[in-house]
Structure formats: C-alpha cells, structure tokens
Structure 1
C-alpha cells in the first residue's frame, strides 16, 4: 500500500501536460493508495477559489485515510527530537508525523520532499522519491 505525500499531489495538480499524473500512475500501478489528514489540510488550504475548493473537497471526501494514535504522536515527536540532537533539521514536524504513519502501517511513502530523506537517517522508512520529469 502506498502513502502519497502532499508534495506529490501538488506536482500532479499543477501539471498541465498530464505527464506527471502518468508518471505517478506508473508508480501506483494496481496498488492501493492512502492519504493522511495532513495532506487533506495542506491541499485544501492551497485552493485558489471556491470552485477549486468544492472540486478538491469532493475528491478528498472519497479517499481513504490513515490516522495517528496517541503513541504515534509521541513517536513522531521522538523523530524530530533525535534529528535535532544529531544536528539535522526538517522543515516541518508534520513530516515527522507523516513518516511515523508510514512506519506504523508499513506503507511505502511516495514524496518529493527532502525532509523524508533526512528522517530516513534515523528511522527505517520505506520511501520513493518522486521527482517529476
């Protein structure tokens, strides 16, 4: 099962050629896809107008989501803490939460965000860096 990060969805939605969507579809193939509520939040807050909001909201309502439990929140904070102690930084603690969700649920994270590569230095994170061509 694949967990698709917001960084990938933004590339797909911005692409006018459809090539980025095709590239993602080739990675997804016939595997199941799941999202986080963080992606839902980040995507909706980036809407440009009400029409885009309604369209995206409708799409996101139909998706499957994975959620953090109490232990996962603490584990995500621990990722951030351990990185900081090693002198490494991530731009967003939300990415620690997303990484922890992937770890907890044995998901492969598809992303285009340097934070996840930094996180993988302290956690075993199944990941694929999606870099649109």
Structure 2
C-alpha cells in the first residue's frame, strides 16, 4: 500500500514498469503543469517503461476530438506495453475491491477504476494517476501508487 519512492531517474534505473491511468494522460495532454503532468512528461523523455490496459485505452481513445487526434492518441497509448485483462477473474476481483472500499466507508465513484487497480495489483506495477478514486483504493488494497515528486 502507498507510494513507491523514487524520481524518474530511479524509476528508469530500476526498469520499473509504470501503469499510466487515463487521468494522468489527460493531465499530460492538457499541459496542466500539475505534478502528474510533469511526471508523465519526464517519464516519456527518459523512455521509461510505461504500460496500459484495455480500460485505459478505451478511456483515452474516447476523448479523441477528430480522426487526427485519434491517431495521435492511439500512437501515444498503444506505444505502451499492454497489460491485458485476464478475463472474468479480473472483473470479480475488481468487484471485491469495490466492496472492500465500501465496507470501509470509502466511496469509489467509478467501477472501472477498481478494474484498473486490479490490473496494477495483479501485475505488481505502480499506477500513475490524477484520480482520487485510486487514493481511496490504495488505502484498503495492495495498490501501489507511483510517486509524482509532489
């Protein structure tokens, strides 16, 4: 549980795979200047090992404004290593994550975040995000959150 220490240089040196959530991609694409935006930019510049999964691909591509933007988003997100869903078991585990949080009085707003967290937990990778749902999930599960340096 919690954040994995280390800046971009440490992450690159360890060869650590980072799962980048759609919320982090949005911060980067909008150029918000937030710590998450800066971290995504640094990870891309350092050619760190970035990962995605099917729900993240869906969320990112859904935001395409036109065909050109869609092509750019596809190159960006599909240039990452794919951590595929494992079928029904991932969905069942995601439902268990949701119930665990709910029993603890924590409201996870979007079930897809439980699915993405399940992928990160099962793949033993840190998740880079800008979505408070993941902070809640990390309080009650083995989800590791990537350090944004903030």
Give the Cα–Cα distance (whole angstroms) in 2 for the partners of residues 78 and 21 of structure 1.
31
How far does residue 86 in structure 1 lie from its aligned partner after superposition? 2.2
Are 1:12 and 2:25 counterparts? Answer: no
Q: Distance in 1 between matches of 2:62 and 2:72?
A: 13
RMSD: 2.5
Aligned mates of 2:91, 2:68 — CA distance in 1: 34
- 2:42 and 2:67 map into 1 onto residues whose CA distance is 31
Unaligned runs of 5+ in 2: 1-16
5 Å matches for 1:17-32? 22-27=38-43, 29=46, 31-32=48-49
Cα offset, 1:119, TM superposition: 0.4
Show the counterpart of 1:101: 119
TM-score, structure 1 as length reference:
0.83
Q: For structure 1, which runs of at least 5 residues remain unmatched after alignment? A: none
Alignment of 1:63 onto 2:80: yes
State the partner residue of 2:60. 43
In 2, the alpha carbon distance for the partners of 1:119 and 1:13 equals: 25
Q: CA separation in 2, counterparts of 1:9 and 1:62? A: 13
Secondary structure in structure 2 of the residue aligned to 1:71: helix
Structure 1 counterpart of 2:135, from 117, 120, 132: 117
SS at match of 1:120: helix
Separation in 2, partners of 1:122, 1:74:
17
Count of residues in correspondence between the two structures: 131
1:22 is displaced (CA, Å) by 4.8
Q: 2:69 aligns with which of 52, 58, 78?
A: 52
* Contact 2:49-2:81 at 8 Å conserved across structures: no
